[in-house]
Amino acid sequence: MRNNTRGAALVVALLIVAMVAMLATALSSDFLLMFRRVENQLYSEQAYAYLLGAEEVARAALLQDLLQDGDKRNDNLEEAWAQSQKFPTDYGWISGQIEDLQGRFNINSVSEKGASPDVRSAAQNQLIRLLQTLKLETPLALDQAQAITEAIADWIDADDEVSGLGGAESQYYAETEPMQRTANRALMSPSELMLVKGMTPEIYRALAPLITVWPNKEFKLNINTAPPQVLRSLGGAQETLPLSDNETDYLLQGRESPKYFTDTTIVSSGALADRHIEVGNLTLQSDYFLLNATTEFQGHRYSLHSVLHRIGGSKPWHVEVVARTLGEW
């Protein structure tokens, strides 16, 4: 009887030890998980502080450029603000690149209507030309570019009338999976284009670096900072074909360092005289920029994208942050 009692006590003792061991393991695992969470949060906050520091440096660089140029502003890719920067830190490195948003095509401008239902606006035809310049495995044909442009215009405009043969309004999107509705407003981010009829990931990836979203109808394109593909999209109000390689080279040579354009009328002269390019929406000065900042902190990488508005009218001149995002802008 005594041996049975001892055996039962031993079993109970073993069960208690097992339960304590399991509890200790669970607590250890939970503690380790909590510790990692706190550590990651701390790293993230410290990295974000670095990125905000990069933002302040970018604002200072843009303001310094404004102070140096004064009334003779000519924003181009040779200036200090346009150069990529990378610096070591105590825990890794931090880099930054300022892009001129006014060197991109304003996609929201395609919502403007033409003179009649059968006539596209100048902005719509420019997007058609731009889409044909995209570096795709199979470049877009004219009819494909027209259809995508019509679909984007319908997504943005406030009415429910389908544009052309490629447009799409609420009836089309009500039958998609998942079902959705047209925005009927200006785009807030280029990534919204992925919801538009005819848009594919391949087309979007090629188009996104060439466009911006801006509600201001007075937004002008800086031909000194525009990528070659955006320059190819220049043309007459009703032209649907982009500039040829030779015509684009004429523009690129005209802005090579140290020359750069000093007058927007160059796009309507010389080899481009017959293209009848409108210069009213072109400029050599920029006010809106995009900072792409990245830092590596303790082996982890973090990014910040900031839209910056440089205000150089009445003094004091300053640079304000319009938007920030940790993801794709």
Number of domains the chain is built from:
2
7 and 75, same domain (yes or no): yes
- Average per-residue pLDDT in the chain? 88
Least confident residue range of 11-20, 60-69, 201-210, 318-327: 11-20
Distance, CA of 141 to CA of 128 (rounded, Å): 10
pLDDT band at 31; cut points 50, 70, 90: low
216 and 303, same domain (yes or no): no
Q: Report the CATH number that the domain containing residue 318 is assigned in CATH.
A: 3.30.1300.30
Do 227 and 251 touch, CB atoms closer than 8 A? no
245 and 128, same domain (yes or no): yes
pTM greater than 0.75 (yes/no): yes
Distances in Å between the Cα of 26 and the Cα atoms of 22, 121, 208 are 6, 66, 47
- Domain carrying residue 253: 105-279
37 and 121, same domain (yes or no): no
114 and 243, same domain (yes or no): yes
Of the two residues 12 and 281, the one the predictor is more confident about is 281
Do 48 and 29 touch, CB atoms closer than 8 A? no
175 and 189, same domain (yes or no): yes
Block residue for tokens 């998980």: 33
319 and 216, same domain (yes or no): no
Q: Which residue(s) pair with 295 in the sheet?
A: 94, 302
95 and 123, same domain (yes or no): no
What are the φ and ψ backbone dihedral angles of 211, each rounded to 5 degrees? -125, 160
- With a pLDDT cut of 70, the percent of the chain lying above it is 91
